[in-house]
């Protein structure tokens, strides 16, 4: 209920269109139910039961008119309802995607580290799509079913309260009780299905990425068999849900028949006792023909748990608190150096850094070296405030890092991470990420410092050469130099370089170290590397031991 309420709140600006969808849907459902009722009324009139008999030639006209009117209104109303519902659904999905992106911008980069990445992608793709079911096929159908139940109960009440009781019971059974029971039984199955599907997708992707290894070492056949086994497991989960859907459908059919019979028996008894007129066949027909909207809800029962679980995951991201909240009302100092004082840090479990005091001064290259896993990258990330350092441990320009506006912090710092991500665009645009809007001359200067320029000139279209998806057409050394060019182009007074030369030959390393030496005046450089040749350029070197 809480999740549904929150999802409904997101409708906000589209309330009017939702109301329109409900109105059109209710009118359409009522029109559909009216066809048999009016037809029966015409028959009664023709047969002279109740009112005065009509002339025989009147009957065909009535039927043609009825069919035309009802069909038209039903068609037009239904079309309008569906259009409005899908408009709402897809507008909302677009809106939620935007909100999710904004939320992730707050939550990252901490959120994208670690193991949650695969799950996150599932939320961003399949979960959002599932919400379409809620907005286009659950929300207004529920309102329409409610209106229909009330309208039908009210109309048949005019004839006799017993009919109203039967109608209400039938609508509650079909539109509320049966879907609630079905959704309870489907919960576990939906969870299993998503889990199996997720696992299968991950396995498939893993196999695809590792295909060269599988071919080389002859593992493809076994992998294929495993894939078949996992397909079967996902299928088993799906089959169970299908069975549940069939059973629910059959039960719904039984209930419709039972309640129609009940209304018929009640009508006969009341007529026999002389309590109602012969025209009382009309309420029975109305009850019989009013089940459409309730049946639409019955069919939703087994998919609802999956939809709500998707909604919960989407909402969880929207509501998640970022590791480091954005600072906007802090200081925006000029750069005069950075410092850590007795900095200790852990990612929740074991301590990664203990009592680190390092000062990064202008005009100085500070080298940080140490074995893999000793916390070098973590130290740089804390200087970026990707993670929250303890109070009074990290300072920029003498101010505690938490008190500096996040926008200013990004201006003051250039961070080259260990893995450079390349966007699916040209190599020039990839460098320009470092400073959007920079001139071409500045971009080329940065590329030269990063020992990238000659390589780019050797490409067929120079800086306009596209790099493939995930930059897979570039070698890791070339990719690294693009990352370095970005950092140089950003031109910040605090330069943080995480293993900038790990994939480079000594020739390119030399070019870069020379550039660094030239760049260091007026800026502070933190240079993380385990290469002694790279450490040679540093003025001071810290060795990080076990944290
Ligand atoms: N996001 C994270 N969550 C939990 N542990 C992490 C995370 N990032 C790094 N670690 C752990 O912190 C330790 C230091 O990592 P890192 O700073 O990357 O070391 P280095 O850069 O010196 O190789 C390692 O043991 C690593 O497994
Ligand atoms: Mg590292």
Question: Does residue 48's CB lie within 6 angstroms of at least one atom of ligand 1?
Answer: no
Q: What angle do CA 285, 287, 289 make, to 5 degrees?
A: 70
**Could you tell me the distance, in angstroms and rounded to a whole number, from the CA of residue 374 to the centre of ligand 2?**
8
Whole-number pLDDT of residue 109 = 82
Residue 539 lies in a domain: yes
Question: Does residue 244's CB lie within 6 angstroms of at least one atom of ligand 1?
Answer: no
3-state SS, 475-524, equals CHHHHHHHHHHHHHHHCCCEEEEECCCCCCCHHHHHHHHHHHHHHCCCCE
Residue 364 lies in a domain: yes
Q: What is the pLDDT of residues 204-223, one digit of tens each?
A: 888 988 999 999 999 889 99
- Measuring from atom 4 of ligand 1, which residue has the nearest CA? 347
Name the phi and psi angles at 122, rounded to 5: -60, -40
User: Is residue 455 pLDDT above 60, yes or no?
Assistant: yes
Q: Are 208 and 470 in contact (CB under 8 A)?
A: no
Is pLDDT larger for residue 338 or for residue 469? 338
Q: Are 399 and 331 in contact (CB under 8 A)?
A: yes
Whole-number pLDDT of residue 469 = 61
Mean of all residue pLDDT scores within the chain: 89
Domain boundary among 273, 288, 319: 319
Whole-number pLDDT of residue 52 = 56
240 plus 381 within the same structural domain: no
273 plus 310 within the same structural domain: yes
User: Is residue 51 pLDDT above 60, yes or no?
Assistant: no
Instruction: Write out the residue range of the structural domain in which residue 488 sits.
Output: 338-543
User: Is residue 348 pLDDT above 90, yes or no?
Assistant: no
Q: Band of the pLDDT at 14, cuts 50, 70, 90?
A: confident
Q: For the chain, how far is it from start to end, CA to CA, in angstroms?
A: 48
Q: How far out from the chain centre does Cα 514 lie?
A: 46
Q: Are 248 and 302 in contact (CB under 8 A)?
A: yes
- Measuring from atom 3 of ligand 1, which residue has the nearest CA? 347
Question: Does residue 414's CB lie within 6 angstroms of at least one atom of ligand 1?
Answer: no
Specify the ligand 1 atom closest to the Cα of 374.
22
Question: Does residue 408's CB lie within 6 angstroms of at least one atom of ligand 1?
Answer: no
User: If DSSP codes are grouped into helix, strand and coil, which group holds residue 219?
Assistant: coil
Domain boundary among 263, 285, 319: 319
User: Is residue 114 pLDDT above 70, yes or no?
Assistant: no
Closest by CA to 128, choosing from 318, 296, 300, is 318
Give, to the nearest 10 degrees, the angle between helix 139-157 and helix 161-172.
160
User: Is residue 132 pLDDT above 90, yes or no?
Assistant: no
- Measuring from atom 5 of ligand 1, which residue has the nearest CA? 347
Kind of pairing, strands 365-369 and 524-528? Answer: parallel
315 plus 363 within the same structural domain: no
Whole-number pLDDT of residue 468 = 73
Residue ranges with CB less than 5 Å from ion ligand 2: 377
Q: What is the pLDDT of residues 249-308, one digit of tens each?
A: 999 999 999 999 999 999 999 888 887 777 778 889 999 999 999 999 998 888 888 899
Give the integer Cα–Cα distance in Å for 476 and 485. 14
Residue 326 lies in a domain: no
- Measuring from atom 10 of ligand 1, which residue has the nearest CA? 347
User: What DSSP designation does 127 have?
Assistant: I
How far CA 171 is from CA of 182, 370, 424, in Å, comes to 16, 71, 54
**Could you tell me the distance, in angstroms and rounded to a whole number, from the CA of residue 367 to the centre of ligand 2?**
13
Beta strands in 364-474 (DSSP E): 365-369, 394-396, 399-400, 413-416
344 plus 308 within the same structural domain: no
225 plus 276 within the same structural domain: yes
Question: Does residue 52's CB lie within 6 angstroms of at least one atom of ligand 1?
Answer: no
User: Is residue 144 pLDDT above 90, yes or no?
Assistant: yes
- Tokens coding 236: 């088993």
Write out the DSSP string of 175-195: IIIHHHHHHHHHHHHHHHHHH
Whole-number pLDDT of residue 117 = 65
Helix (H) or strand (E) holding 542: strand 540-543
Q: Band of the pLDDT at 349, cuts 50, 70, 90?
A: confident
Residue 327 lies in a domain: no
Residue 103 lies in a domain: yes
Closest by CA to 467, choosing from 476, 489, 442, is 476
Residue 329 lies in a domain: no
Residue written as token pair 């750069």: 335
Whole-number pLDDT of residue 445 = 95
- Measuring from atom 6 of ligand 1, which residue has the nearest CA? 347
Specify the ligand 1 atom closest to the Cα of 498.
21
Give the integer Cα–Cα distance in Å for 75 and 401. 63
Q: Band of the pLDDT at 547, cuts 50, 70, 90?
A: confident
- Tokens coding 352: 């990664």
User: Is residue 68 pLDDT above 80, yes or no?
Assistant: no
Whole-number pLDDT of residue 384 = 95
Q: What is the pLDDT of residues 467-518, one digit of tens each?
A: 876 556 788 889 999 999 999 999 999 999 999 999 889 988 998 899 899 8
Domain boundary among 292, 319, 346: 319
Whole-number pLDDT of residue 118 = 65
- CATH number for 473: 3.40.50.300
343 plus 490 within the same structural domain: yes
Question: Does residue 369's CB lie within 6 angstroms of at least one atom of ligand 1?
Answer: no
Residue written as token pair 């909100």: 99
Q: Are 267 and 283 in contact (CB under 8 A)?
A: yes
Q: Are 534 and 527 in contact (CB under 8 A)?
A: yes
Closest by CA to 511, choosing from 545, 480, 547, 541, is 480
Site to probe by mutation for ligand 1, drawn from 367, 378, 499 as the one with most ligand atoms within 8 Å of Cβ, is 378
Q: Band of the pLDDT at 458, cuts 50, 70, 90?
A: very high
How far CA 276 is from CA of 42, 170, 409, 457, in Å, comes to 19, 22, 82, 95
User: If DSSP codes are grouped into helix, strand and coil, which group holds residue 222?
Assistant: helix
243 plus 141 within the same structural domain: yes
Question: Does residue 171's CB lie within 6 angstroms of at least one atom of ligand 1?
Answer: no
380 plus 255 within the same structural domain: no
> How many domains does the chain fold into?
2
- CATH number for 135: 1.20.1560.10
- Measuring from atom 20 of ligand 1, which residue has the nearest CA? 373
186-206 burial, b at 16+ Cβ within 10 Å, e below that, comes to: bbebbebbbebbbeebeeeee
- Tokens coding 133: 């079911």
Give the integer Cα–Cα distance in Å for 392 and 402. 9
Question: Does residue 113's CB lie within 6 angstroms of at least one atom of ligand 1?
Answer: yes
350 plus 482 within the same structural domain: yes
Residue 395 has a CB neighbour count (10 Å cut-off) of 19
343 plus 224 within the same structural domain: no
User: Is residue 53 pLDDT above 80, yes or no?
Assistant: no
309 plus 381 within the same structural domain: no
Report the residue count for the chain: 547
Residue 101 lies in a domain: yes
Kind of pairing, strands 338-346 and 394-396? Answer: antiparallel
Question: Which has the minimum average pLDDT: 51-60, 243-252, 303-312, 495-504?
Answer: 51-60
Is pLDDT larger for residue 337 or for residue 460? 337
161 plus 280 within the same structural domain: yes
Question: Does residue 545's CB lie within 6 angstroms of at least one atom of ligand 1?
Answer: no
- Measuring from atom 16 of ligand 1, which residue has the nearest CA? 375
Name the phi and psi angles at 353, rounded to 5: -125, 140
Q: Are 401 and 481 in contact (CB under 8 A)?
A: no
Closest by CA to 282, choosing from 468, 101, 36, is 36
- Measuring from atom 7 of ligand 1, which residue has the nearest CA? 347
Question: Does residue 376's CB lie within 6 angstroms of at least one atom of ligand 1?
Answer: yes
3-state helix, strand, coil in the chain (%, to 5): 65, 10, 25
Residue 224 has a CB neighbour count (10 Å cut-off) of 12
Question: Does residue 372's CB lie within 6 angstroms of at least one atom of ligand 1?
Answer: yes
Question: Does residue 141's CB lie within 6 angstroms of at least one atom of ligand 1?
Answer: no
Specify the ligand 1 atom closest to the Cα of 387.
1
Residue 298 lies in a domain: yes
């Amino acid at each position: 209920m809480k999740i549904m309420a929150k999802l409904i709140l997101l409708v906000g600006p589209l309330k009017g269109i939702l109301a329109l969808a409900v109105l059109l849907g209710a009118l359409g459902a009522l029109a559909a139910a009216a066809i048999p009722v009016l037809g029966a009324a015409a028959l009664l009139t023709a047969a002279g039961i109740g009112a005065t008999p009509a002339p025989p030639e009147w009957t065909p006209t009535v039927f043609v008119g009825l069919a035309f009117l009802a069909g038209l209104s039903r068609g037009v109303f239904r079309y309008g309802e569906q259009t409005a519902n899908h408009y709402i659904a897809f507008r909302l999905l677009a809106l939620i995607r935007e909100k999710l992106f904004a939320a992730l911008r707050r939550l990252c980069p901490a959120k994208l580290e670690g193991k949650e990445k695969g799950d996150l992608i599932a939320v961003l793709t399949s979960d959002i799509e599932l919400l379409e079911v809620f907005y286009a096929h659950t929300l207004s159908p529920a309102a329409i079913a409610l209106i229909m139940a009330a309208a039908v109960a009210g109309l048949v009440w005019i004839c006799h309260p017993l009919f109203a009781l039967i109608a209400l019971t039938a609508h509650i059974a079909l539109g509320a009780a049966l879907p609630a029971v079905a959704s309870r039984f489907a919960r576990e199955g939906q969870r299993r299905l998503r889990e199996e599907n997720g696992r299968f997708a991950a396995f498939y992707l893993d196999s695809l990425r590792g295909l060269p290894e599988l071919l080389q070492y002859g593992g493809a056949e076994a992998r294929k068999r495993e894939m078949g086994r996992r397909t079967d497991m996902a299928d088993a989960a799906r089959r169970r849900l299908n069975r549940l859907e069939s059973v629910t459908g059959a039960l719904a059919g039984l209930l419709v028949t039972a309640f129609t019979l009940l209304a018929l028996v009640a009508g006969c008894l009341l007529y026999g006792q002389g309590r109602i007129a012969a025209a009382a066949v009309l309420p029975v027909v109305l009850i019989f023909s009013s089940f459409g909207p309730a049946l639409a809800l019955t069919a939703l029962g087994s998919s609802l748990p999956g939809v709500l679980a998707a909604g919960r995951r989407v909402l969880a991201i929207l509501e998640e608190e970022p590791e480091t909240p954005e600072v906007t009302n802090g200081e925006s100092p000029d750069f005069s150096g950075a410092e850590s004082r007795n900095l200790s840090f852990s990612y929740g479990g074991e301590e990664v850094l203990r009592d680190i005091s390092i000062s990064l001064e202008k005009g100085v290259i500070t080298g940080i070296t140490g074995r893999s896993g000793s916390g070098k990258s973590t130290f740089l990330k804390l200087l970026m405030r990707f993670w929250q350092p303890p109070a009074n441990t990290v300072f920029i320009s003498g101010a505690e890092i938490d008190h500096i506006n996040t926008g200013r912090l990004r201006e003051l710092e250039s961070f080259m991470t260990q893995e450079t991500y390349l966007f699916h665009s040209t190599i020039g645009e990839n460098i320009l990420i470092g400073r959007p809007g920079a001139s071409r001359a500045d971009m080329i200067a940065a590329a030269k410092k990063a020992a990238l320029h000659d390589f780019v000139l050797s490409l067929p279209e120079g800086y306009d050469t596209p790099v493939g998806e995930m930059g897979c057409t570039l070698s890791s050394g070339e990719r690294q130099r693009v990352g370095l060019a970005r950092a140089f182009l950003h031109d910040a007074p605090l330069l943080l370089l995480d293993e900038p030369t790990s994939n480079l030959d000594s020739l390119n390393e030399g070019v870069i170290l020379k550039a660094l030496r030239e760049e260091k005046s007026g800026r502070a450089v933190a240079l993380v590397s385990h290469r002694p040749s790279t450490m040679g350029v540093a003025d001071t070197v810290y060795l990080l031991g076990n944290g």
